[in-house]
Amino acid sequence: MRWLIDGHLDLAWNALSWGRDITLDLDRLNRDEVGMTDHPSRGRATTTLPEMRRAGIVVCQATLLARVKPEARRPEGHARNSLDFANQEIASAAARGQLAYYELLERRGLLQMIRTSSDLDTHWERFTTGSHDEPIGYILAMEGADPIVEPSQAVEWWNLGLRSVNLAHYGKSRYAVGTGDDGALSREGVQLLKEFEQLGMILDATHLSDTSFYQALDIFHGPVLASHNNCRALVPDGRQFGVATPTAQSTTSSTAIDCGFFASICRHESTTLARAPRTRNRTS
């Protein structure tokens, strides 16, 4: 079997917002949703922990996903699976709840947080050479940085295990502009990238608009990846990288990547996921 790292999975959002028990077999989960009418995606879940194990997923980037969109006020109110919250404090609390779910899965022996490169090496060795019943490793990622209520709070999230962050998801966040719009980083976004450099946080360039993307690469000198991106030559949409956009470290789709890919980013110039040097060559 080819052992893999999956670059991006919204596991906690599926569990908490969709009510999906990701510890079940995938077929069982989808059968349980037959007859549910709240969303067309019911009965079409794409993965669960047992499915990941069968596919040879040793490690994934597991996300925290909560956005600030106070303007998103539907007449019927907010659906449970909505990503949008009224302010950053609420979004931050929602993200903490998603982290709590991952921690509970750790207590059951189903997941194992990866904080450092040595954690990655140790976990990979145990999973791939043993009986293959080790917990699946996860690197904690944040899709859209709104749950970081201010740049100085980045260190708190780092201490909780966060290692990779997208600045924006769809539209504007406090820090940058994402898919479906275009614009520059905010002043707070520039400050947040400085915090990331000090911590060694990985900047995930996925979803950044063109202007925010190039500005981020100009000012950020820490590790960069694009966890689930394609190029516009293949998928002609603003969500993807343009012709001039560096793509050497982007995945070709939102599917799995191998260990060497992620390790090469996480350990650039012998650094670790735990602490990066204050200055280094840009990895993008």
Position 242, amino acid: G
Helices and strands (H and E) in the chain: how many = 9, 10
- Which contiguous run of DSSP H or E holds residue 61? strand 57-64
Q: What is the pLDDT of residues 113-151, one digit of tens each?
A: 999 999 999 999 999 998 778 999 999 999 999 999 999
Confidence of residue 105 (pLDDT cuts 50, 70, 90): very high
Region for residue 111 given its phi and psi (left: phi exceeds 0; alpha: psi -120 to 50; beta: otherwise) = beta
DSSP secondary structure letter of residue 268: G
Closest CA to 214 of 186, 240, 244, 181: 244
Q: For the packed helices 259-266 and 117-129, what is the interaxial angle rounded to 10 degrees?
A: 160
- Tell me, what's the pLDDT at 243? 58
Cα 236 from Cα 254, distance rounded (Å)? 16
- Asked if residue 62 lies in contact with residue 9, where contact means CB atoms within 8 angstroms, the answer is yes
What are the extents of the domains in the chain?
4-14+53-270
Q: What is the pLDDT of residues 190-236, one digit of tens each?
A: 999 999 999 999 999 999 999 999 999 999 999 999 999 888 888 88
What CATH topology corresponds to 4-14+53-270?
TIM Barrel (3.20.20)
> How many other CB atoms are there within 10 angstroms of residue 66's CB atom?
27
Q: In terms of DSSP bridges, do strands 136-143 and 111-113 run parallel, antiparallel, or are they unpaired?
A: parallel
- Tell me, what's the pLDDT at 280? 33
Closest CA to 49 of 25, 17, 84: 25
- Tell me, what's the pLDDT at 253? 38
Position 146, amino acid: D
Cα 24 from Cα 140, distance rounded (Å)? 22
* Of residues 267 and 23, more confidently modeled: 23
Q: Please check the confidence at residue 89 and state whether its pLDDT lies above 70.
A: yes
Q: Please check the confidence at residue 104 and state whether its pLDDT lies above 70.
A: yes
pTM score: 0.84
